[in-house]
Amino acid sequence: MSISNFEDSLLTLKGYFLAKRLMSKTQYFTRTEIEEYQIRAIYKLLNQVCTYIPYYKKLFWDYDFDVSKFDDLKKLRQLPILKKKDLLDAPQDFIFANEACRSLELSTSGTSGEPLKTFTSRNQWIIEQASIWRHWKWAGYKFRDKMAILRSYAPKNNEPIMKLNKLKNWLYVSPYHLDDKNGLEILKKLRKWQPKFLRGYPSSLYVLAVISRNYDIKIPSLKAALTASEVLTDEYRRVIEETFKIKVFDHYGQAEITTMIHECEKHECLHLLEDYAYTEFKNIEGTEEKSLIATNLFNYAMPLLRYDTGDKVILSKKVCSCGRSFKGIKKIIGRSDLLLFHKKGYYIPSINLYTYFSKLKEVSKFQVIQHNNNEIEVRIQLINANITSSKQIQYDIKNEFNDRFGTTIDLKITNEFITGSGGKCNPIIQKIKK
C-alpha cells in the first residue's frame, strides 16, 4: 500500500532518531557483538517465517531445517539460495499477509526487465531510513541542510524542472532536462541557493559536473555528493569530485530490501551494513569477484532468506581507519546503466525507466532500444490486459516517452526480445556511438 506524505515524513523522522539512538552504537560493535546481534535477529525472523510464510514452511520441512537449533550463522547455509525467478513465479508465497496489509509496496525490475513487487514492513522502513540518515551523517549532513536532488523527479511538459520542498529544504531537479541551456539555469540557481549537498544518480551528477566545468560555474557552498541507484564509475567519481571540489559518498541497496552498502568519510572502502542484514559472499570461479547473497534481518512483511541479489563485489583487503568493524567492500559491480539521449542530443539517465515500467502491473517484461536520437523502439510483454487496458497502456507509454525524449516511439507488444550472451535479456539497449 502507498502512504501519505505525512506518514512518510513521520517514518523518516523515526528513522532519524533510531540512527541517533541505536545505529550510532552498532556501527562500532566488535565482530563478536555483530555476530550475536545477527543471530538473535535471524532466530526471531526464522520463528516468524516457519509459521506464517508458505514458501518457508514447505522449505523447512523439505530440508529438515530445525529453527529451534539455530545458533550459528553458518547453519543458514543449509537452505538453498533464493533466486529472483522463485519470487516471480509465486510472489504470494513469500508474503506474511497480516504484516503485508500494513506494509509499503516497492517495485523493481533489476537487470531482467521483468517487474517485481516487494513489500517492506513499516518497522523495516524506519530501519531503512535510519541507515540512510547515518550514511548522510558520515558525509556531514545535518537535519534540514540544503540539498539538491537530481533523481526520481520527472516533471511533465507544463511543470518546472526544479521544485523546492520547503519542509525538508530539498530542491528537486529533473535529471531528464540536462542540456546546456537547462544545465546553466540549474547551476545558476544552485549557486544562488547555496546547497551544501548534491544527491542523485551518478550519471546525472556527472553530466551536471561536465556542464559546470565547460562553463566554469562553481558552487562553493557544496560539501559532499551522495550517489545511489547506479554504479558509480571511476570516471564519474573523478569528474564530480574534481569539478565541484567535494568528495562522493556512494550508496548501494535494492528494492528487495536485502542488503545495504555505504561509503564512509575516510573513503578507503565501502562498508557492508551488518546491523541491517546478514550477507554472504559466494565465490565466482576464476575471479576475485563475489556474488552477494543476502538476508535482511527485520523485514517481516516479505522476508527473503539467502537472496541472490544478482550483483557482485570485490572485497577490500584493508581495514578502514574509520574504526567501524563492518566488513569492507573495495568495489561494487552491479548494473551499469546506459545513458540514453534526448532528441536534442543531451543525456537522459535510463535508471528511472526501470521504476516506471515496474509500476505498470500489466507489463510483465520490457525492453527499450535506442537506434538514434529520433528513433526509440519499446517492446513490452503484457499480462491480464484486455483490449481497453492495452490501448490505454500504449497511450500512456507513448506520452511518457514523448515527454522524456521529445520524440515518438515505435511501441510493440510482443513476446520476442533481443538477447545477448547466455540468453540474457538486457532491458536497455543503446546503439548510438558517441
Same domain as 331, residue 391? no
Which residue from 248, 183, 229 is spatially nearest to 336, judged by alpha carbons?
229
Same domain as 393, residue 328? no
Q: What is the pLDDT of residues 163-173, one digit of tens each?
A: 999 989 999 99
Rounded Cα gap, residues 168 and 171, in angstroms:
9
Same domain as 113, residue 255? yes
pTM reported for the whole predicted model? 0.86
Rg of the chain over all Cα atoms, to the nearest angstrom:
22
Q: How confident is the model at residue 385 (pLDDT cuts 50, 70, 90)?
A: confident
Burial 131-146 (b: 16+ CB within 10 A, else e): bbbbbbbbbebeeebb
375 within a domain of the structure (yes/no): yes
Helix (H) and strand (E) counts in the chain: 12, 20
Q: How confident is the model at residue 359 (pLDDT cuts 50, 70, 90)?
A: confident
Asked whether 167 and 146 are in contact (CB, 8 A), the reply is no
222 within a domain of the structure (yes/no): yes
CB under 8 A, 24+ apart: contacts of 151-155: 151/175, 151/199, 151/200, 151/201, 151/204, 151/228, 151/229, 151/351, 151/352, 152/352, 152/355, 154/352, 154/403, 154/404
Same domain as 281, residue 163? yes
Grid coordinates 538477447 are at which residue? 419
Residue 72 DSSP class: S
Q: Which domain holds residue 411?
A: 360-430
225 within a domain of the structure (yes/no): yes
Asked whether 309 and 254 are in contact (CB, 8 A), the reply is yes
Same domain as 268, residue 409? no
Q: What is the pLDDT of residues 313-350, one digit of tens each?
A: 999 998 999 999 999 999 998 655 567 888 888 888 88
Q: How many domains does the chain have?
A: 2
The enclosing H or E element of 278 equals strand 277-283
Q: What is the pLDDT of residues 279-298, one digit of tens each?
A: 999 999 889 999 999 999 99
Same domain as 135, residue 30? yes
Rounded Cα gap, residues 16 and 129, in angstroms:
7
Same domain as 369, residue 301? no
Rounded Cα gap, residues 244 and 210, in angstroms:
10
Same domain as 389, residue 273? no
